[in-house]
Amino acid sequence: MGSVAIKSQDSDGRAPDRGVARRQAFLEAAREVFLEHGYEATSVNDVVRLAGGSLATLYAQFGNKEGLFLAFMQDQHDRFVREMRPTEPVDHLPLPEAMQQIGEHFLRRLLQRDSVAFYRVMVSEGRKVPKHLLHYFSVGGAGQVYDELVSQLKKAGLSDADARESMYYFVELLRSRHHFQAAVNVDYVVADEELTAHVARAVRFLLNGLKLA
C-alpha cells in the first residue's frame, strides 16, 4: 500500500482547513485498509502509517477504531450515492430503453471492485453497525435508483405498490449470479457486452411478465 496524498486545494481553489484535510487523509487510508482487510484485521496504526499524522490526531478526529470504521462506512456510502444514478436523464426514453440505461449504470457501479469490497465488509462486520445505519448504508445509495425505476414503472401504468414490488424483482434480476460471483471471487469480471445483454434479458423478462413489453 502506498501513502495517501492530501489534497492541497478544495474544489473552489481555496486551501482546505488543515483539520479537514487530515480527516480526509485518514478516511482515504481507512478506506484502503478496511476494504482490503476488513474490520478485525485492521489496526489503526496501519491507517496512521498510510495517512501520516499521529495516533493522537486520529483518536481526536474519530474517537476510536469503531468511530473511524463508521466514518469510513459513511464516506464510502456517499461515494456510492454520487456515482449510482445514470449521468444522463432518461425521462424522455421509452420504458425499455430507460430501464436498460438505469440497469446498466447500476450494475456496473455495483460490480466495481470497491463496491463489492464494501458489500463484503457490510456482510462480515454488519454486527458492529447500528441497525438503522446498516439499513441506510445498504439501501441508501441504491435508493435513488429504486425511486427512478418506480417512477418509470408508474408512468407505464402500475400502481405505486406494484411498481415498487416490480422494481425489487428487477434489481434482483440484475444482481443475480454476477454480484454473488464477484463477492466470492475477487478476479470475477463481466465483459461489457455480457453486462449489456444481461440487463436486456432482465428488462425483457420483467416487462413481459408485467405485460408492458
Q: For residue 17, how many C-alpha atoms fall within 13 Å in the half-sphere facing its CB?
A: 3
Q: Structural domains in the chain?
A: 18-63 (1.10.10), 72-209 (1.10.357.10)
Q: According to the model, what pLDDT value does residue 73 have?
A: 84
CA 94 to chain centre: 27
3-state secondary structure string across the chain: CCCCCCCCCCCCCCCCCHHHHHHHHHHHHHHHHHHHHCCCCCCHHHHHHHHCCCHHHHHHHHCCHHHHHHHHHHHHHHHHHHHHCCCCCCCCCCHHHHHHHHHHHHHHHHCCHHHHHHHHHHHHHHHHCCHHHHHHHHHHHHHHHHHHHHHHHHHCCCCHHHHHHHHHHHHHHHHHHHHHHHHHCCCCCCCHHHHHHHHHHHHHHHHHHCCCC
Per-residue cell: 22: 487530515
The Cα–Cα gap between 75 and 89 comes to 26
The widest CA-to-CA distance across the chain, in whole angstroms, is 61
pTM for this entry: 0.74
Residue by residue, pLDDT tens for the chain (213 residues) are 443 333 334 445 555 578 889 999 999 999 999 988 888 888 999 999 999 989 999 999 999 998 998 898 888 878 877 777 667 788 899 999 999 999 999 999 889 988 888 888 888 877 777 776 666 666 555 677 888 899 999 999 999 999 999 999 999 999 989 999 999 998 999 999 999 999 999 999 999 999 987
CA 34 to chain centre: 15
The Cα–Cα gap between 175 and 177 comes to 6
Q: According to the model, what pLDDT value does residue 82 have?
A: 76
Q: According to the model, what pLDDT value does residue 139 have?
A: 58
Per-residue cell: 125: 462486520
Under 8 Å between Cβ of 107 and 178: yes
Q: How far is CA 23 from CA 76, 110, 129, 186, in A?
A: 14, 27, 21, 29
Least Cα distance to 190 among 169, 175, 207 occurs for 175
